[in-house]
A and B are shown apart, each in its own frame.
Chain A
């Protein structure tokens, strides 16, 4: 196939149309939608409203609630281990606070619990820092400028979430935000700043003030690397166990949380951790590929913590909604679904159709922006790629016209680098995008101190639900993981001082199995998933003596 500058001839025909309209589009924008127009659009085009997207869950503390199909499949599933086979009298690790998951929420929870006198153990499925936090590019919100206030931030959050968000959680998010930025600055995290130290801040979709703080387009990466370095500097207070996902929580006879069972992915042993409190920070569910969407999420985003917490008795909130990021890569094939940061649009890039026409305000809240892109493709105005996928142009060179030559490479080094690998120079040509599975809006229900209905069980970050309602705004997830990670760490360290749980049991798992047996749920449906299943069917046919437990070989 003839290619130049990373694109096919057919794509170049369309790019020429985009180039032809570029100058006349500069400075002009489609108006943003009213609340009513937005709601109408969502109902018709957002994947959440597709018939059959959810089903009523048959079992557990939120029985009867609508839950996304792929999540219901994990919650209506049998455990990895037979409770009768586990010897709970043998303790492999002992700690005050067990943190399950080593991303932004888990690491900040560990740091705060440690700072408040608790011994902490982080058990994580992959490496410390292998998390969506590491991949967050665009920024972190905080109302810390003169023209802004926590109240204005509050209004943006709750409006973006369609007004159902849990008010006490939104308050915690916006009131803690400036302190979180100060904390990161104290830890030595490098923010984008003016010469005098003023934070360079931008808009995100649905924000009414420019409050997106950033570190080039490696914002989450730099936060995660800083937090990880800090955690590694505390080897006495924070023990780290990698490649060891938790597969079940332990509760004492009164129902108090007292540890977990870990699975060592390499030796395939099940090991027990005895603790006085547990904080679940396992992140979201992108690797479930809801409605077969590609995802921006990291390899471990399989909703494991959701399964563990739910079996132990924690309730769900907003598990019928999913966030699709408007701009996932649609070309080249090798990077389909990967994130194109919203900050690109904050800086001035805009979506245009195959004819080079504007059709939507570039910074709507994510659900509305995504629905508008899907509508445009369904109207027949998408650009088809050689694999048959259809996408929308994101006209990045506009940024260079607005902010000067070289500004893309300077402010978006990750995006620029990724595209150059495929011979696409986004300072000169548009890139092709389409909505991609991005974020778990809902999760386990928490209070503002991250506690759940299960004593001693705390949840923070993407695994929790309520703060973002039905749709999260850009930059509020990095904020969420740090605000609630800290709160969980503080609350758990306080809680463990006055509690001594009894002997660990798997009573709750036994009961869950009994309830499962009363349904028609197939016995070979196993959760937590632990790793996604990317092995081809053909390979599996030849693996004659391999045994798969769920997706895991």
Chain B
């Protein structure tokens, strides 16, 4: 078992922790009860964004505390909050075009193509590519590239042009999903049928069945291959 102890520096202070822990569990091992900085603990929510560097190295790295193993010589701090701006809009009144972004997120167009956002992303998303896709008005591309974004905010904090990439990304996805992606006709058809009360009787009949009769029906139901 990998029980070797490593030295980490939490906000500059040295702690010895087992080397098999994640940054998050190492913080708890060291004695912290976390209020800000832990969410899903599985890499889906972006609550545990952490900035660190290795001893004797000047390069700042960023990752998720819950998905990253501690290493000997890590100097780290967790981000409690990202004070980034989000534009307020009514999605029903927007147009899926580049002008919407020029109005709501004009800073997106000041991207200097430095790629720092991409380097900061713990999800390895090509963040700059979707920022640039928006500049070119390609909302579909931006929606698809940004899809795995967990909105941790690391990109925005590192961006010299002060773009809030993750808020641009969710807007791109919502515009794509609402206006540009093909609609599911079968869903609309079923909703209409339900509004007309079409499936009411069949379900009501099931509700009245005895447990025994329900079991029989359940057992004899056919299964889509």
Contacts and interface: CB of A to CB of B under 8 A. Distances in A.
Given A35-B218, A182-B191, A333-B20, A197 B184 contact: yes
A187 B174 contact: yes
B203 A233 contact: no
B106 interface: no
B31 to A, nearest CB: 4
A335 B22 CA distance: 9
Interface string B29-68: 1110111101111111101000000000000000000011
A344 B174 CA distance: 26
Contacts of B107: none
Contact of B224 (A147, A181, A185, A266): A147
Contacts of A197: 181-185
Contacts of B16: none
A265 B44 contact: no
A216 B148 contact: yes
B194 interface: yes
Interface stretch (B5-13, B71-79, B207-215): B207-215
Interface stretch (B88-96, B112-120, B127-135, B154-162): B88-96
Interface in A455-481: none
A230 B171 CA distance: 10
B42 A179 contact: no
A150 B199 contact: yes
Interface in A95-133: 126-127, 129-130, 132
A155 interface: yes
Given A163-B214, A222-B173, A386-B1, A127 B90 contact: no
A249 interface: no
A447 interface: no
Which of A129, A170, A220 counts the most chain B CB atoms within 10 A? Answer: A129
Contacts of B205: 151
B203 A154 contact: yes
Interface residues of A, number: 93
Contact of A199 (B41, B86, B187): B187
B202 interface: yes
B35 A339 contact: no
Contacts of B28: 534-536
A266 B35 contact: yes
Contact of A127 (B41, B47, B175): B47
A186 B187 CA distance: 12
Given A198-B186, A199-B186, A334-B22, A190 B176 contact: yes
Given A233-B88, A243-B35, A175 B194 contact: yes
A298 B214 contact: no
Interface in A333-378: 333-335, 338-339
A216 B21 CA distance: 29
B150 interface: yes
Contact of A298 (B45, B90, B176): B45
Interface string A138-173: 000011111101111011101100010001101100
A134 B39 contact: yes
B218 A159 contact: yes
Which of B88, B203, B221 counts the most chain A CB atoms within 10 A? Answer: B203
Contacts of A333: 2, 20
Contacts of A536: 28-29, 31
B188 interface: yes
Interface stretch (A77-85, A202-210, A271-279, A491-499): A202-210
A233 B91 CA distance: 9
Contact of B190 (A178, A185, A193): A178
Given A126-B39, A190-B177, A225 B206 contact: no
Q: Which 8 A-B pairs have the closest CB atoms?
A: A197-B182, A188-B174, A188-B178, A159-B218, A188-B177, A151-B202, A178-B190, A190-B177
26 contacts: A35-B218, A129-B45, A130-B40, A132-B40, A135-B42, A144-B186, A151-B205, A151-B206, A158-B214, A171-B207, A188-B174, A191-B177, A197-B185, A198-B185, A199-B187, A203-B224, A218-B148, A221-B45, A226-B173, A233-B88, A235-B88, A298-B39, A299-B47, A387-B1, A533-B33, A536-B31
